[in-house]
């Protein structure tokens, strides 16, 4: 899906099957945020079209524009939270793998280890192989 603004309002309205004034109302309500050219003309993207489809779906279900705005804000927040959770899970996995690699480096096979025992009663050190 492209974020690149390519559609002028008349073409976008025709693609969406709505009146250009409806798009202006949605923009005023904060539901759509088309980009502007240096001359001030609106340019809509495929991402805007997906948002408009979601607006149409919610309004068809009886949700008013303020409700649509809240639902879409919560959906955006949920998506951002999911991305952050995925990022944190990947980071945690990376850190666990790094810790395991460190353990493998620090471990010494038992057959090659030297055990040192101190006899406290005699205050003497003895060396034994396990």
- At 99 the pLDDT is 87
What the block records as the tokens of 94 is 């990376």
- At 4 the pLDDT is 80
In percent, the amount of the chain with pLDDT more than 90 equals: 62
Q: What is the mean pLDDT of residues 62-74?
A: 95
Contact between 86 and 78 under an 8 Å Cβ cutoff? The reply is no
DSSP-derived 3-state class of residue 95: helix
**What stretches of 1-130 show up as alpha helix (H) in DSSP?**
9-16, 20-28, 46-60, 65-106
Whole-angstrom Cα distance, residue 44 to residue 115? 74
- At 5 the pLDDT is 77
pLDDT grade for 124, boundaries at 50, 70 and 90: low
Whole-angstrom Cα distance, residue 52 to residue 24? 12
- Tell me which of 2.30.130.10, 1.10.1660.10, 3.40.309.10, 2.40.160.40 is the CATH number of domain 9-106: 1.10.1660.10
Contact between 117 and 128 under an 8 Å Cβ cutoff? The reply is yes
- At 102 the pLDDT is 80
- At 78 the pLDDT is 98
What the block records as the tokens of 106 is 């620090």
pLDDT grade for 11, boundaries at 50, 70 and 90: very high
Contact between 32 and 78 under an 8 Å Cβ cutoff? The reply is no
Mean per-residue pLDDT of the chain:
86
- At 104 the pLDDT is 67
Domain ranges of the chain: 9-106
Q: Mind listing the pLDDT tens digit for each residue in 77-86? A: 999 999 999 9
Whole-angstrom Cα distance, residue 3 to residue 9? 16
Contact between 62 and 68 under an 8 Å Cβ cutoff? The reply is no
What the block records as the tokens of 109 is 């096979």
Other beta carbons within 10 angstroms of residue 42's beta carbon come to 21
């Amino acid at each position: 899906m492209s974020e690149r603004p390519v559609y002028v309002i008349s073409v976008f309205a025709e693609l969406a099957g709505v009146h250009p004034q409806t798009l202006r109302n949605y923009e005023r309500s904060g539901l759509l945020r088309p980009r502007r050219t240096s001359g001030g003309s609106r340019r809509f993207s495929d991402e805007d079209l997906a948002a408009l489809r979601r607006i149409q779906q919610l309004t068809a279900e009886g949700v008013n524009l303020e409700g649509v705005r809240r639902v879409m804000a919560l959906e955006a927040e949920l998506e951002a939270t999911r991305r952050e959770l995925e990022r944190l899970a990947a980071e945690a996995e990376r850190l666990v793998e790094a810790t395991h690699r460190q353990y493998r480096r620090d471990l010494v096979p038992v057959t090659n280890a030297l055990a040192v025992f101190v006899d406290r009663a005699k205050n003497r050190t003895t060396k034994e192989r396990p």
